[in-house]
Amino acid sequence: MPEARAPPGGPAVPAWANQSGARDFVLLGFAHVPALRPLLAALFLALFLLALLGNALIALLPGLDPALRAPMYFFLRQLALVELCFSLDVAPRLLLTLLRPGRGVSPAACALQLLLVLSCVTSECFLLTAMAWDRFVAICRPLRYGAIVSARRCRLLAAACWLAGVPVALVFTIWLFSFPFCGPRGIRHFFCDIAPLLSLVCADTRVFEAHVLVATVLIMFVPFCLIATSYARILAAVLRMPSASGRLKALSTCASHLIVVILFYGTTGVIHLRPKASYSPESKQVVSLSYTLVTPMLNPLIYSLRNKEVKAALGRVCGQRRGTHIP
């Protein structure tokens, strides 16, 4: 395949990266393994459909079964909706990139995708923190749980989590797209993200990168510290419980959330804490797959397989749909 001029310090860009118009970007996701594109497209389509099905089920189940009206399931429903938005924002463009390489992405479409990605990541950080707070109150303040974690407070928290990412995402998206882009407009990623777009900018971005780092620390590290503090206090409270069965039950209610937190922060932190890190764009694509496709697919499985109430509610709903009674 013929190649176009590469940007300084990077490999050559496929010639079709410049065939979509002077202003359009071209996503080069997995361009380094062209022979595997059909196989990757089939795999990612399966992950996407599983993520859609699982998160849609988790989002709908609390409304179908009265037993899942607790605040924990309210926040779980919000998390599933965020994962749905995330998957719908990233996966269709990824599949199109694999099946139709070389299709241009307008600056407006690229900016919109970046805006949604940043908003979803921010909302998920705050939602995971709200879920940790819910578990902390349930285990450490059980007698006051109903008064502290009220329905009104849960709705306000959820609204704040959803809206918090919008202004930050707007500021950085507008700021990034105000820079001049030069050379081939091939984005070495499967979606529009800050790091690969920065590599196309022909201007001094040090101030922008410093602000991105500060915002990332505030949005990711501060919530992570709050989550860690909540779990440290939960662990201390659990260790003071007299019965082993009580300790096991308390820890089991937190296990699913803790697994999701580790999966989310373990992957997003690698990408967003160092927007111009030294590792290759190809390795970043693999890590990005973890939180854009794999984690949204795994979250419903983690919560449904480890939660007896979710499994029981699913059984009741399925039984009602079949016209049978499940006690």
Output the tens digit of pLDDT for each of the chain's 327 residues.
334 444 444 445 454 444 445 578 999 888 888 888 899 999 999 999 999 999 998 888 887 777 778 888 899 999 999 999 999 999 999 999 999 888 889 999 999 999 999 999 999 999 999 999 999 999 999 889 989 999 999 999 999 999 998 999 999 999 999 999 987 888 988 999 988 899 899 999 999 999 998 998 899 889 999 999 999 999 998 888 888 887 887 787 788 888 888 888 887 766 666 555 555 767 778 888 888 888 899 888 887 766 777 777 777 777 666 655 444
**pLDDT attached to residue 7:** 46
The closest of 42, 78, 280, 51 to 162, measured between CA atoms, is 78
> Residue 204: what pLDDT?
92
pLDDT recorded at residue 3: 41
Q: At residue 3, what are phi and psi to the nearest 5 degrees?
A: -125, 150
Query: Contact 305/99 with Cβ under 8 angstroms?
Result: no
Contacts within 8 Å (CB) and 24+ apart, 138-143: 138/72, 138/253, 139/234, 139/237, 139/238, 139/250, 139/253, 139/254, 140/233, 140/234, 140/237
pLDDT value of residue 229:
95
On whether the CB atoms of residues 271 and 284 are closer than 8 A, the answer is yes
What phi-psi label fits residue 217: left (phi over 0), alpha (psi between -120 and 50 degrees) or beta? alpha
Measured CA to CA, the distance from residue 77 to residue 61 in angstroms comes to: 8
Pairwise CA distance, residues 135 & 129, whole Å: 10
**What pLDDT shows up at residue 94?**
93
Phi-psi region of 128 (alpha: psi -120 to 50; beta: other; left: phi over 0): alpha
What is the pLDDT at residue 259?
A: 87
Task: Provide the pLDDT for residue 1.
Answer: 39
